[in-house]
Structure 1
Amino acid sequence: MTPDAHSSASRTSLRRRLDQLGIGLAGLCVLHCLATLLVVSALGLGGHFLLDENIHRIGLLLALIVAALAIGRGMLRYGRRGPFYVALGGLALMGIALLVPHGTNEFLLTLTGVAIVAAAHWMNLRSPD
């Protein structure tokens, strides 16, 4: 394998791992949302921790970083705009969710945004290099 081919394969492998990380983060977000709904509603426990705004801000920041690295790289390097635009829509919904009070609207905006970002990572992961 030539040095250029090895470097290219390494970058592709990194992008794939970042896309997989993005999908994993989306899954953790869904678990967090569902756990919050169940634990706080059913038991009245953990509201101070599970509903903390910083968890949502940090989650959005992580989603932005991973999407920029994986999906942004795919767009810049290979011209794949589809995953980028899909991710942008999902990240926008996640950002809007931070602006609404906790409740059904926030929950639905967040889960929809997370699902869309995960789909963008999946599209990026499935794209040929």
Structure 2
Amino acid sequence: MTSMISLAAPQPTHRLDRFAITMSGLCLVHCVATTVLVAIVASAGSVLGSPLIHEVGLTIAMIIGAVALGRGVIEHGFMMPSAVGGLGLGVMSGALTMDHGGAEALYTMTGVLILALGHRLNGIAAE
């Protein structure tokens, strides 16, 4: 009976150790990324705040969204993922018309989350 307990015990510990190592790695990545991001933002704030960044990002999101969500409709026949993704793109587009600031950022993030939901629904529909 002792040997059965000793054989079963390492597996949960091993999983816990892997989880702890993963969390430590994520913590390290977070710390380094935060430091690097703060340094970049401090030196290049005008570039990152440029409306051109938002316009190019939205253009790329629209192209990828049209291809991925449109292809999904053709493959699985469900319109809902495309409709949800289109709503997200619309919210993101509307945010571009706002003054740069808190409300604009909130609308942009909301649109991004809705678009991500559309892509997730597209993946679920394809399964």
Q: Same fold (TM over 0.5)?
A: yes
1:52 paired with 2:46, answer no
- Residue 76 of structure 1, CA deviation: 2.9
Mapped partners of 1:64, 1:82: distance in 2 = 17
Among residues 88, 91, 100, which one is paired with 2:89 in the alignment?
91
Query: TM-score normalized by structure 2?
Result: 0.64
Relative contact order (alpha carbons < 8 A, sep ≥ 6): 1 or 2 greater?
1
Evaluate the alpha carbon distance shift between residue 76 and residue 91 of structure 1 in structure 2; reply closer, same or farther with a 3 A threshold.
Answer: same
Question: Matched residue of 1:102: which SS?
Answer: coil
With 73-82 and 59-68 compared, the bigger mean Cα shift is at: 73-82
1:10-59 per-position Cα deviation (integer Å, ceiling 9, x unaligned): xxxxxxxxxxxxxxxxxxxxxxxxx8xx95xxx86533111111110111
Q: Which residue of the partner structure matches residue 109 of structure 2?
A: 111
Larger radius of gyration, structure 1 or 2? 2
Cα RMSD (Å) of the superposition? 2.2
Question: Matched residue of 2:99: which SS?
Answer: coil
Q: Which residue of the partner structure matches residue 75 of structure 2?
A: 77
Mapped partners of 2:122, 2:73: distance in 1 = 9
Ranges in structure 2 where 5+ consecutive residues have no aligned partner: 1-33
Does the 8 Å CA contact 2:75/2:126 hold for their aligned counterparts?
Answer: no
Query: TM-score normalized by structure 1?
Result: 0.63
Ranges in structure 1 where 5+ consecutive residues have no aligned partner: 1-34
1:53-104 per-position Cα deviation (integer Å, ceiling 9, x unaligned): 1110111111111111110111133321110110111000100111001111
Mapped partners of 2:42, 2:97: distance in 1 = 24
Mapped partners of 1:46, 1:78: distance in 2 = 44
- Residue 127 of structure 1, CA deviation: 1.3
